[in-house]
Structure 1
Amino acid sequence: MNISKTKRNFIASLTLFTVLSGGIGVLILHKALPGHYFGGYPFIPVYFYFFGLFSIYMFDACRRHAPQKLVLLYLAMKVMKIILSVILLLIYCIVVHQEAKAFLLTFISFYLLYLIYETWFFFSFEVNLKRKKKNKKENETVV
């Protein structure tokens, strides 16, 4: 299976980020906010992890087959993520009334954390890509 360096780096850092943020979340809910841990907590980091995996595979496929649509795909993925998240929040709150507040606050916290993480990852990827192109142009003009 051919896996790009960017995809491999994203999957590795996403896995590490998910394990760390999930673990820190458990510690916060058990130590700092005792009694606020709820049964649906493990679902939250898993949801964002799988959505991140789905996103990187979609971006890689788009980069290979339709690179001119990459920005459109990025925006579509963000819209799809927020719509799916709102649907999941509504379903959980309807099904589990007593844990709704803790679930909502935790989910929103993870949503913001993953938004910052993904933005940082793709921004640094673009900066490195532009830097490589610039260095390549400078090397071509020198030769």
Structure 2
Amino acid sequence: MTITKRNYLLHTALLTALTGILGGWAYFSINPHHYFGGYPLIPFFFFVFGAFMINMTESCRQRMPGRMLQIYLLIRVLRMLVSMIVMLIYCVVVQEEARAFLLTFIANYLIYLIYDSWFFFTFEAGRKLKKKSNDEKIA
């Protein structure tokens, strides 16, 4: 397991715990009549998808480093489509508290989107800085 993968999974697990525990507590405290039992599954969904995302990114980095951006964007689109399908299925099957579920799911989606963007941006920036530093040492 690479350092990047380990860091990503660790940080994502911490974010999942925070959004699951603190978000659930705040949601239940502020608006208990709209709290739904499936709330803990939302952060878990994003953690599982994050694990899939880092595995695919690491695999691409080793096999096809020139296609990293394309794979990353493809995974982002896939996350959006799977999220939309999950929201649609929940709203059709459960129907009660659909609005609360949608708002909660979208809020979590944005939290994880911001986190993933930050993580991969800092990873790429660090990688470019390291490469530039190595190039300067050689020259």
Where does structure 1 lack aligned partners over 5 or more consecutive residues?
none
TM-score by length of 1: 0.93
- Matched position secondary structure for 2:51: helix
Residue type of the alignment partner of 1:15: A
Equivalent residue runs for 1:85-124 within 5 Å? 85-124=83-122
How many equivalent pairs are there?
Answer: 139
- Matched position secondary structure for 1:39: coil
Residues 84-135 of structure 1: CA distance to partner in whole angstroms, max 9, x if unpaired?
1111111100111111011000000000000000000000101111111121
Structure 2 equivalent of residue 51 of structure 1: 49
Distance 1:61 1:127 in 2: 20
Structure 1 equivalent of residue 134 of structure 2: 136
Distance 2:50 2:137 in 1: 36
Structure 2 equivalent of residue 62 of structure 1: 60
Equivalent residue runs for 1:33-52 within 5 Å? 33-52=31-50
Where does structure 2 lack aligned partners over 5 or more consecutive residues?
none
Distance 2:131 2:79 in 1: 31
